[in-house]
């Protein structure tokens, strides 16, 4: 039977529980103020926090050490954990697990076009993706504001805005928030929204786990925010013991917050990995899987396998503060190095959790704007898998200065240098695609090109840092700080914005303003480099991280860096203005396929239907056969053939239409 013949024999779905879900008998999906939404989540969180705090006080009231310390970590932890639980109960995350206990499956979720769906627990991966967009940007901008505070303090080596304790708390909060955000920055918004559509699926494998990942991620954001009113924490984002065990109030927010975010990361990675393995459309062989999906798969492997170590490390820290265990207390049979090992066993794969999706995004953008196939596609995919595997074997290079057996240094120096090989492959794939290309300098492409410039600097300095002699010399200084900002912000955040400009027209159906996009890009690119490049010099001249006073002769460079940082920060205001203007204030409808891309996600209808595709597509080739005469169509969508051989479905021709209007 031919595909078209089979499709003509379609049957209506008779199952009362189609593959999407609401809560108990549809309770959460019922619209209106009486249903569960963000408001009930806030009420649940506040109630949970108060109950948990009260319980903690009751439990700890008989212990002298609590009374003498002046800090009740049990009450803090109880409040934060039950607050998070109340948040999840309030939004409806526990409805389904409770219903399952009595053997019930959820009633069908009512599809709604109301904006209120963005404030609910939903099984629609596209809604979850857009919830993540807002959540991640909120995280990013909060962390960015803290960065502005840091640079304000560093304007002068002697006149101070903050005291030393406040300064280190701000630095710690900034680092932690940014790292938490960065782990989910691409997987959350773009991964959830795009991956099912890119592989031709109508749903994700576990949509409630996907929704859970977002709502626990947002709970983690609120928990880490509580660190400042609790007095902050002095450890930086790495949370090193013994400082961790000596710290008070805000440390619990760090530990609980990281555990919550970690749970969200595992949930998101778990769902997407299972979806990619099982829900690829017929014909979507591994050699046709889009490179962005490969990057997400490699990232999900890291999320699901490395993050449990972070959760375990956080659990031990919480137990040290509450149950008075001594995991990280040297004097009682524990070891502060235990934290460092566990933390970095997660922490270094985390670097690639942040880097790989960025490469995946630019791997999608480059072929579209060069109208060339992705160069050495299989090498790029293999490089991503190679990076993911090797990332488990390099964590000890973070401990070169922390008492590691000197004999172990060469081994970890070697593994660290080895990982630059698959990373280099991915980089060269980008260069090969650009070679002799006629580039369309649209806004997404500008961000993609910037990634290669920034990551080159970040990557090369990373190779320097993997060498023990250099590492010993510059450890703990601004050189390292600049290096990882070049890789994470210069790589991931530039890729994220490139991805947002590229896919937002499909995700929202609205056109982003091109002029504002260009202003955003050039401000961000120029002042990112002017902010962080001087920090290499500042670091080589000896300024340490996390210290609010520095040598007088470094003031000029610091001031230059600070002023650049302020302009860099204001570039995000341009993005916010563009987003608000283009999406909400004066929306301009976007064409269905404004970039004339061959990607499967652009071939389905706009706005994307609830089930993504009217018919499950049959994939016929990979989506990178640009400029190839006689190439087959990308997929049979059950309607008309689309792809290189069939011409653009959206009715736009190359370069003629843009998703960013110049008005």
If the CB atoms of residues 345 and 521 are measured against other proteins, the closer one turns out to be 345
Token pair belonging to 417: 């240098």
Q: Assign residue 288 a region (left: φ > 0; alpha: ψ between -120 and 50; beta: otherwise).
A: alpha
Which residue among 330, 420, 588, 654 contacts other proteins (CB under 8 A)? Answer: 330
Examine residue 326 and tell whether it contacts other proteins (CB under 8 A).
yes
Smallest distance from other proteins to CB 185, Å: 21
Stretch that binds other proteins, among 111-119, 190-198, 560-568, 575-583 (CB under 8 A): 111-119
Interface with other proteins (CB under 8 A), residue from 331, 407, 436, 553: 331
By CB under 8 A, name the one of 10, 628, 656, 663 that touches other proteins. Answer: 10
Q: How far apart (Å, rounded) are the C-alpha atoms in residues 113 and 124?
A: 12
Residues of span 604-623 touching other proteins by CB under 8 A: 609-611, 615-616
Q: Is there binding between residue 21 and other proteins (CB under 8 A)?
A: no
Residue 18 in contact with other proteins, rule: CB under 8 A: yes
* Chosen residue from 51, 94, 104, 434 binding other proteins by CB under 8 A: 104
**For residues 201 and 451, which CB has a smaller minimum distance to other proteins in the complex?**
201
Length of the chain as a residue count: 663
Q: For residue 585, state whether it binds other proteins (rule: CB under 8 A).
A: no
Q: Using CB under 8 A as the criterion, what x/- string covers residues 221-260 for binding other proteins?
A: ----------------------------------------
Report the residue number, 389 or 439, with the smaller CB distance to other proteins: 389
3-state secondary structure 292-320: HHHHHHHHHHHHHHHHHHHHHHHHHHHHH
Exposure of 299 in the CB half-sphere (CA atoms within 13 A): 36
Residue with tokens 């930086």: 236
Tell me whether residue 206 or residue 464 sits nearer to other proteins (CB atom).
206
Report the residue from 25, 57, 116, 402 that binds other proteins according to the rule CB under 8 A: 116
Long-range contacts of 605-612 (CB under 8 A, 24+ apart): 606/506, 606/509, 607/509, 608/126, 608/197, 608/506, 610/20, 610/111, 610/124, 611/202, 611/203, 612/196, 612/197, 612/201, 612/202, 612/203
Q: Which long-range contacts (CB under 8 A, 24 or more apart) does 235-238 make?
A: 235/172, 236/168, 236/171, 236/172, 236/175, 236/545, 236/546, 237/172, 237/175, 237/176, 237/178, 237/179, 238/175, 238/343, 238/347
Q: Which stretch binds other proteins (CB under 8 A): 8-16, 246-254, 361-369, 584-592?
A: 8-16
Contact status: 662 vs other proteins (CB under 8 A): no
Other C-beta atoms lying within 10 Å of the C-beta of residue 6: 11
Supply the minimum distance, in Å, between the C-beta of residue 103 and other proteins.
3
Residue 109 sits in the site that holds other proteins (CB under 8 A):
yes
CB 96 within 8 A of CB 21: yes
Q: How many residues bind other proteins (CB under 8 A)?
A: 76
Q: How far apart are alpha carbons 110 and 124 in whole angstroms? A: 11
Q: Which is nearer to other proteins, 260 or 644 (CB)?
A: 260
Half-sphere exposure for 329 (CA within 13 Å, toward CB): 14
Beta carbon of residue 230, minimum distance to other proteins (angstroms, whole number): 23
CB of 125 to other proteins, least distance (A): 14
Of the residues 216, 260, 266, 351, which one makes contact with other proteins according to CB under 8 A: 266
Q: By CB under 8 A, is residue 278 in contact with other proteins?
A: yes
Closer CB to other proteins, residue 258 or residue 375?
258
What mask of x and - would describe binding to other proteins in positions 25 to 64, judged by CB under 8 A? Answer: ------xx--------------------------------
Which residue in the set 274, 434, 526, 530 belongs to the binding site for other proteins (CB under 8 A)?
Answer: 274
**Whole-angstrom Cα distance, residue 46 to residue 58?**
18
* Pairing verdict, β 618-619 and 633-636: antiparallel
Task: Find the binding residues for other proteins in span 332-361 (CB under 8 A).
Answer: 332-335, 337-338, 341-342, 345
Region at 246 (left for phi over 0; alpha for psi -120 to 50; beta for the rest)? alpha
Q: How far is the CB of 337 from other proteins (least distance, A)?
A: 8
By three-state DSSP, how is residue 560 classified? helix
Binding map of other proteins across residues 179-218, x = CB under 8 A, - = no contact: ----------------------xx--xx------------
Question: 320, 61 in Cβ contact below 8 A?
Answer: no
């Amino acid at each position: 039977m031919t595909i078209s013949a089979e499709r003509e024999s379609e049957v209506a779905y008779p199952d009362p529980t189609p593959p999407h879900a609401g809560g108990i008998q549809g309770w959460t999906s019922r619209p209106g103020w009486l249903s569960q939404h963000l408001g009930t989540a806030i009420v649940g969180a506040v109630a949970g926090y108060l109950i948990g705090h009260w319980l903690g006080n009751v439990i700890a009231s008989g212990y002298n050490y609590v009374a003498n310390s002046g800090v009740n970590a049990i009450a803090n932890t109880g409040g934060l954990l039950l607050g998070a639980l109340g948040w999840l109960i309030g939004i409806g995350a526990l409805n389904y697990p409770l219903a399952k206990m009595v053997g019930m499956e959820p009633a069908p979720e009512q599809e709604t076009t109301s904006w209120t769906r963005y404030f609910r627990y939903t099984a629609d991966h596209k809604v979850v993706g857009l919830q993540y967009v807002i959540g991640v940007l909120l995280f990013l901008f909060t962390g960015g504001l803290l960065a502005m505070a840091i640079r304000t303090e560093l304007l002068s080596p002697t006149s101070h805005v903050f005291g030393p304790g406040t300064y280190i708390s701000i630095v710690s909060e900034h680092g932690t928030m940014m790292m938490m955000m960065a782990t989910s920055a691409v997987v959350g918004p773009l991964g959830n929204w795009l991956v099912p559509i890119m592989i031709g699926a109508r749903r994700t494998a576990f949509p409630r786990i996907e929704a859970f990942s977002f709502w626990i991620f947002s709970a983690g954001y609120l928990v880490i925010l509580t660190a400042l009113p609790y007095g902050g924490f002095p450890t930086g984002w790495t949370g090193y013991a013994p400082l961790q065990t000596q710290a008070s109030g805000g440390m619990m927010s760090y530990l609980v917050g990281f555990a919550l975010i970690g749970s969200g990361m595992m949930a998101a990675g778990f769902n997407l990995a299972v979806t990619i393995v099982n829900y690829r459309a017929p014909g979507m062989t591994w050699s046709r899987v889009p490179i962005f999906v490969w990057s997400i798969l490699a990232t999900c492997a890291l999320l699901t396998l490395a993050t449990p170590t972070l959760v375990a490390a956080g659990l031990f820290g919480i137990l040290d503060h509450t149950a008075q265990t001594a995991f990280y207390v040297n004097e009682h049979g524990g070891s502060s190095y235990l934290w460092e090992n566990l933390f970095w066993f997660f922490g270094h794969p985390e670097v690639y959790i942040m880097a790989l999706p960025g490469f995946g995004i630019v791997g999608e953008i480059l072929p579209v704007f060069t109208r060339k196939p992705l160069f050495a596609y299989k090498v790029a995919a293999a490089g991503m898998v190679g990076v993911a595997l090797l990332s488990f074997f390099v964590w000890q290079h973070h401990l070169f200065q922390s008492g590691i057996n000197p004999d172990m240094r060469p081994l970890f120096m070697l593994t660290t240098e080895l990982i630059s090989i698959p990373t280099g492959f991915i980089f060269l794939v980008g260069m090969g695609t650009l070679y002799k290309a006629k580039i369309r300098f649209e806004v997404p492409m500008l961000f993609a090109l910037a990634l290669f410039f920034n990551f080159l600097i970040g990557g090369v300095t990373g190779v320097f840092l993997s060498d023990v002699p250099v590492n010993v010399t510059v450890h703990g200084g601004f050189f390292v700080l600049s290096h990882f900002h070049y890789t994470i912000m210069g790589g991931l955040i530039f890729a994220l914005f490139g991805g947002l400009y590229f896919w937002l027209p499909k995700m929202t159906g609205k056109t982003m303003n091109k002029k504002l996009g260009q202003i955003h890009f050039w401000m961000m690119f120029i002042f990112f480099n002017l902010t962080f490049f001087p920090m290499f010099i500042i670091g080589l001249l000896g300024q340490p991280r996390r210290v609010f006073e520095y040598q007088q002769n470094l003031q000029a460079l610091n001031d230059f860096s600070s002023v650049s940082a302020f302009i860099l920060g204001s570039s995000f205001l341009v993005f916010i203005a563009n987003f608000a203007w283009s999406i909400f204030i004066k929306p301009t409808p976007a064409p269905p396929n404004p970039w004339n891309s061959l990607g499967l996600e652009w071939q389905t209808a706009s706005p994307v239907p609830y089930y993504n595709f009217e018919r499950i597509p049959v994939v016929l080739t990979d989506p990178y056969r640009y400029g190839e005469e006689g190439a087959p169509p990308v997929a049979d969508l059950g309607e008309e053939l689309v792809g290189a051989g069939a011409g653009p479905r959206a009715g736009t021709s190359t370069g003629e239409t843009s998703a960013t209007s110049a008005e």
